[in-house]
Amino acid sequence: MTRIDDTFARLKSDGKKAFVAYVMAGDPDYDRSLEIVKGLPGAGVDIIEMGLPFTDPMADGPTIQMAGQRALAGGQTLERTLQMARDFREGDTTTPIVMMGYYNPIYSRGVDRFLADAKEAGIDGLIVVDLPPEEDDELCIPAQRAGLNFIRLATPTTDDKRLPKVLQNTSGFVYYVSITGITGAAEARADTVAPEVARIKAKTDLPVIVGFGVRSPESSAAIAGIADGVVVGSAIVGEIAKGRSASEVLAVVKSLADGAHSV
């Protein structure tokens, strides 16, 4: 059982939905990013998605691309992202952290070394968007052997033939991408997402969490109402980009979390 598994078991027992917040590690700089990350649980965040900045983020829209550029310009690296997890763990040993990013930095570090370091730093799960199921031996299976969840994305184009392959070695939860395209591109609609969530849940016992295109407390509530939880990224990262203080960013996060927890 990972912290992710424990969190979903607790939420289910309490009759609650999960609120997952994405932030780019190191945006706008290390200290302010860490301050925000440390404040997320108090703002109602059940699971933290910590973005690993990368130079070619093909799944991300402009908001998160720019966050990655700011972080890289500030000297954020894979090592500093692991250190951010360590620093967070000094004050919080229960909130799950999922590292989300691309395979190149992990490959460059070496899979075995990365997994050992991630586990030691307090990372609980991985979302690596450019590794398909056909490459599970590369990272997914070693990660699970190391005690980390490997979370897979399902999308509107994941048909019934493809879905079993996507679910095959997934653990922790399934991340359903509510729109076709990049992050922040469109608003998620509960009426179109609901049948897709039901289709996935018919094939797995894992929680199904919906992300991409959730921007307001109202849409957070609507999406959480038809899934096991909701992920918000671009709306939070956009507040950081405006130069908001940590307390201002966390107030926005709380409003989004309250939306998800209201159903």
Three-state secondary structure call for residue 126: strand
Tell me, yes or no, if 60 is annotated catalytic.
Answer: yes
Q: Which of 46, 60, 196, 228 is catalytic?
A: 60
Q: Is the peptide bond before 28 cis (omega within 30 degrees of 0)?
A: yes
Looking at the chain, the number of H-run helices and the number of E-run strands are 12, 9
Three-state secondary structure call for residue 7: helix
Tell me, yes or no, if 49 is annotated catalytic.
Answer: yes
Beta bridge partners of 49: 22, 98
Q: Which of 46, 49, 136, 196 is catalytic?
A: 49
Q: Which of 212, 219, 233 is nearest to 49 (CA)?
A: 233
Residues recognised as catalytic = 49, 60
